[in-house]
A and B are shown apart, each in its own frame.
Chain A
Amino acid sequence: MTLVWLILIPLIGGLLSWQSGRISNAAPRRVALVSMLIALGLSLWLWVTQDYSFTGAGFSAASTGVPQWTIEFRANWIPAIGASFHLGLDGLSLLMIVLANLLGVLAVASSWRDIDRDQGFFHLNLLWNLAGVIGVFLALDLLLFFFFWEMMLVPMYFLIALWGYNPPGGRTRLYAAVKFVIYTQASGLLLLVAILGLAYVHYDATGLLTFDYHDLLGTPMGASVEWLLMLGFFIAFAVKMPIVPLHGWLPDAHTNAPVSGSVDLAGILLKTAAYGLLRFGIPLFPHASLEIAPLAMWLGVVGVVYGAVVAFSQHDIKRLVAYTSISHMGFVVIGVYAATDQALIGVVVQMIAHGLSAGALFILCGEIQERLGTRDLRQMGGLWSRLPNLPPLLLFFALATLGLPGLGNFVGEFLILSGTFLVAPWVAVAASVGLILAVAYSLIMVQRALHGPVHGVAAAAQITLTDLSRRELTMLLTLLALLIGLGLYPQPVIDAARAPVHAFEMIYPDAARAESVPAPTGVAP
């Protein structure tokens, strides 16, 4: 039942927050903050009290019998078509949920002031989006997974469409919102078709119509069928990740989204795709995934380089940060498909570190925009001399983004690269170019925003510049401390991720061994 509460708290909090708009203008955000803090507390409590040394994921589970989860919950949902309300928690889901709840708190806090109308409805959407995300991280029934996957979509659409920005001369927020929905909906339908296809392949083989993860693991199927189904999953996750060339929605969504929407998108939503690959995309189709791995890794490299190069040439600081996300998620793709122990640990650390650093950068972009009224780097400059706290923090998070040793991002990227080098040295070599490019785009951002002569809008706003408030400082310093902590002592995270990563790491050797056997074995009981 604890798992259900993890999903219910944001759902109920959202409803309460929506209705509390009748009481006063400030009530919704307070209610939302409190409910996200409760959710965060609950997930941290789960981390401290539970044992994460085993997992039901992956193939070791399928071959050894009954998969075990740290906490599991199962209830009837649609028995007529074999879908159940099946949730499971292991170390990987736990880390992702803690990250989601943490960034959820920050998302609520970061929109404390800039949302001026319909606060209640805003927080309803934000919290329901988070509930969908948490559902994705917990679902062990493929139909349920899809349900939550799509549940993230509509609230995000409203967040962008109703509270987004219309940058002067740029696309409107409605354009960005619709683009986001169409990308994700089209790919989502592919995912649905693939899920249905898998269920019917399983039905043909066993006579049992089910969407349960345990049952579907190790479904025997022909090579071409496996390829097609795998592609359905892969494309859906590739759009959300995003993998170049399916990234078109991301820069626009970020450009137009409100601050909290951006924090939510970059920090959490993108991670659902990587999680989906780790939990479903690859374990369900090991052989096809093994075959597509080289291509996927090179696509990751393309993403790393492309994101970095395009980021370098952006004038909109938020768009710049958006493109760095593409670059960083490229590393995640590489690590996932390299699938060595080190690389996978790196993937987990990288996801968390990127969630924290990108979240912080988007918050800072919002602060800058709030103060200057623009996000155009050409209009900035000379901020360093005029504000005591904001510039050093921007510098710190820029350094984190470029992978400065001692910070979380470095640990993640280094582990991914060294882990990948073992299996695909040239991919690792090519991807390390991204580290150099990261230095270039991070420093040019710092240079253009903070240094140089005061000019443009920044000069016009000479008198009114105020520094970060206590609320903003608390948020950013928390993120700063977490990033340093993750960089210096990542062991708690690694410990929690150990078991799922180990289970996952076994998939490829298993699949490679089964290559010689004509039909894959190991049907789940």
Chain B
Amino acid sequence: MNAQTWALLPLLITTATVVAGMIGIAVRRAHRFTAMLTTAGIGLALASLAPEWFADDSASIAVTGLLVVDGIARFAMTLILITTLGVLTLCPAYFSGYRDNREELYLLIGVGTVGALTLATANHAATLLLGLELLSLPMVGAVAYTVDRPRSIEGGVKYLVLSAAASATLLFGVALIYAESGSLDMEALATAIAGAGLGSPLVTVGALMVLAGIAFKLSFVPFHQWTPDVYEAAPLPVTAYLATVVKLGAFVAALRLLHAGVGSASPLIVSAIVVLALASMLLGSLLALKQTNLKRLLAYSSIANFGFLAVVLALPGHSAVRAAGVYLVGYMIASLGIFGVMTLVSSPMGQRDHEDLDQYRGLFWRAPFRATVLITMLLSLAGIPLTAGFIGKLAVLAVGVKAGQWWLVGGVVLASAIGVFYYLRVVNALLTASETVPERDAIVGGWGRRVSGAMLLLAMIATLWLGVFPESLFTMGRQLVFP
């Protein structure tokens, strides 16, 4: 095997896993087997990346003209695979009580992961689009997976229409830029976007359309309306996947297309990103304030969080990309933890997930372990020290201050202060004493639940460990440089 095959191994293994899973289902339906097979495959893919973590050089290996495996790609692939593993551990416990076919969900998640990995390595407009579609289309199925629930189909269709519209916008933008620059290479596209200005209307319109398409995927305000509805409609593990892997894949594409690296970015695009970032963090936080549905609250929280991350897109230099890496790690772990606890509280399947804040009242006294994980993760998202989330916020603030982007820094401070309020509302609910015990709440047992519990414990330890000793986060981020 040559270096290129080695570099692409995670993608290949994941694809093989999906195929194997499909054949397995065709032979015999077995929930446990499919779950284990998919988990093992993703785990293997992750293991194939392991040698790269210890290698000091972040060599950039181009695989044909379509894919490139560089520092960013490796970092993103690692994070994608770890998060996917986390989501996969949540599924068995959640779907064990589901009456209909359960196995296909693992295929959908597997295909989505293939898409995310493709996005992480995409070096050409074709692979970019391929990755986006591979990531989005299975999610349509996954969102609507529990078809007998009242809102599933609605959520699926909504996601389908909007993600198709977003992809089309992005594609149109790429085409416009191509008309001017004559190349579909990602680097060429990024260079063209960085040069967008009033002098070249075609590229400017194209760049703005690319930005809009990505803003849809990352649900920046004002392209955010679909997020709460889809989050609410999807089964909880799928919501977790949407909030983590899907966004991560799209964010890597955004980094490659919109971030100018060490070069100078187009002032027009930068100001557009600044507006999007400020709007997302502030409006996301404000809209989360009054939510009583935890899924919707987290949807708005993810909008605000990606507003913070968008700050990074507007700032030049490698250090900004590194800050994004640090932030993403904290955010991924925290989201996974929160949705994980919700999954464990909600399952087995009912008509609706546990998503009303009232259902979480007094959880701390009924289920101290799950509530402690949930509180830790909420505090991490709120950016309270001793958690990885704080380190992420510190990193983003640091690059913001360094670049002197005071509007963005002020926005981050303000939005974080608002954020503390709504995260604490959830924490308060967990802590208040409540007499009424929701019926589906305190069920124990089952191997799936033990696996999920172990994953949550790991996630909590990681959050706290990285929060107190963040050096490894920063060294991990060191790989994140543009070639």
On A, residues with C-beta under 8 Å from B are 76-81, 143, 146-147, 150-151, 153-154, 157-158, 161-162, 174, 177-178, 181-182, 185-186, 189-190, 192-193, 196-197, 200, 203
Interface residues of B, Cβ cutoff 8 Å to A: 379, 384-386, 390, 394, 397-398, 401-402, 409, 412-413, 416-417, 420-421, 424-425, 427-428, 431-432, 469-471, 474-475, 478
Kindly state the separation between the CA atoms of A150 and B475 in the bound complex, as whole angstroms. Answer: 24
A-B residue pairs, 8 tightest by C-beta: A80-B474, A186-B417, A150-B385, A196-B401, A189-B413, A174-B428, A185-B420, A200-B402
Task: Find B409's partner among A81, A150, A182, A193 (CB 8 Å cutoff).
Answer: A193
Give Cα A122 to B38, complex, Å: 43
Name the residue on B nearest A128 (C-beta): B386
Residues of A within 8 A of B425 (CB): 178
Closest to B379 in A: A154
Q: Which of B385, B409, B424, B471 contacts A146 (CB 8 A)?
A: B385
Choose among A153, A178, A192 the residue that contacts B428 (Cβ–Cβ < 8 A). Answer: A178
Give 21 A-B contacts (CB < 8 Å), ordered by A residue.
A77-B469, A77-B471, A78-B471, A80-B474, A81-B474, A150-B390, A151-B386, A153-B384, A154-B386, A162-B431, A174-B432, A177-B424, A178-B424, A178-B425, A181-B420, A185-B417, A189-B416, A192-B394, A193-B401, A196-B397, A203-B402
**Given known contacts A177-B428, A181-B424, A186-B417, what 13 new A-B pairs fall within 8 Å (CB)?**
A77-B471, A78-B471, A80-B474, A147-B386, A151-B386, A174-B432, A178-B424, A185-B416, A186-B413, A189-B417, A193-B409, A200-B398, A200-B402
* Residue of chain B at shortest CB distance from A198: B401
B397/A80 in contact, CB under 8 A: no
CA distance in complex: A192, B417 (Å): 13
In the assembled complex, how far is the CB of residue A428 from the closest CB belonging to chain B, in whole angstroms? 37
Q: Is the CB of A192 within 8 A of B397?
A: yes
Q: Contact check, B385 vs A200: say whether CB atoms are below 8 A apart.
A: no
Closest residue of B by beta carbon distance from A187: B417
CA distance A157 to B424 in the complex (A): 10
Known: A78-B474, A147-B385, A200-B401. A161 touches B416 (CB 8 A): no
Q: Which residues of A have CB within 8 Å of B427?
A: 161
- Chain B residues whose C-beta falls within 8 Å of the C-beta of A78 in the assembled complex: 470-471, 474
What is the minimal beta-carbon distance from A284 to any residue of chain B, in angstroms? 16
Which of chain B's residues have a CB closer than 8 A to the CB of A197?
A: 401
Enumerate chain B residues within 8 angstroms of A81, measured Cβ to Cβ: 398, 474
User: What are the residues of chain B within 8 A of A158 when measuring CB–CB?
Assistant: 431
A367 to chain B, nearest CB (A): 26
Closest to B417 in A: A186
Chain A residues within 8 Å of B421, by CB? 178, 182
User: Which residues from B are CB-within-8-Å of A177?
Assistant: 424, 428
Expressed in whole angstroms, the Cα–Cα distance for A79 and B412 within the complex equals 25
CB distance from A213 to the nearest CB of B (A): 18
Instruction: Determine if B397 and A193 form an interchain contact, defined as CB atoms under 8 angstroms apart.
Output: yes
Assuming the contacts A77-B471, A197-B401, asked whether A154 and B384 have C-beta atoms less than 8 A apart, the reply is yes
- For B475, list chain A residues within 8 Å (CB): 80
- Neighbouring A residues of B409 by C-beta, 8 Å: 193
Contact of B385 among A80, A151, A178 (CB under 8 A): A151
Whole-angstrom distance between the Cβ of A177 and the nearest chain B Cβ? 8
Which residue, B385, B470, B474, has most C-beta atoms of chain A within 10 A?
B385
State the Cβ distance, A119 to closest chain B Cβ, in Å.
14
State the CA gap A197–B432 with chains docked (Å). Answer: 40
Residues in chain A near residue B417, CB distance under 8 A: 182, 185-186, 189
Closest to A153 in B: B384
For residue A158, which residue of chain B has the nearest CB? B431
Task: Output the nearest chain B residue to A175 by Cβ-Cβ distance.
Answer: B428
Q: Provide the residues of chain B in CB contact with A190, threshold 8 Å.
A: 413
Please judge, given known A-B contacts A161-B428, A189-B416, whether A80 and B471 are in contact too, CB under 8 Å. Answer: yes
Q: Given the complex, which residues of B lie within 8 Å of A154, measured CB to CB?
A: 379, 384, 386
Nearest CB in chain B: distance from A266 CB, A: 23
**Max count, chain A CB within 10 A of own CB: residue among B398, B409, B470:** B398
Q: Which residues of B contact A196 (CB under 8 A)?
A: 394, 397-398, 401-402
Nearest CB in chain B: distance from A185 CB, A: 5
Shortest distance from the beta carbon of B4 to any chain A beta carbon, whole Å: 32
| Distance, CA A250 to CA B390, complexed state (A) | 25
Please name the residue on chain A nearest to B475 by beta carbon. Answer: A80
Contacts of A157 in B (CB 8 A): 424
Which residues of A lie under 8 Å from residue B398 when comparing CB positions? 81, 196, 200
CB-based nearest A residue for B420? A185
In the complex, the chain A residue whose C-beta lies closest to that of B372 is: A121
- Which residue of B has the minimal Cβ distance to A161? B431
- Tell me the complex Cα distance, A157–B409, Å: 26
A183 to chain B, nearest CB (A): 9
CB distance from B432 to the nearest CB of A (A): 7
Residue of A nearest to B428 (CB): A174
* Chain A residues, Cβ within 8 Å of B397: 189, 192-193, 196
Whole-angstrom CA separation of A445 from B421 in the bound complex = 36
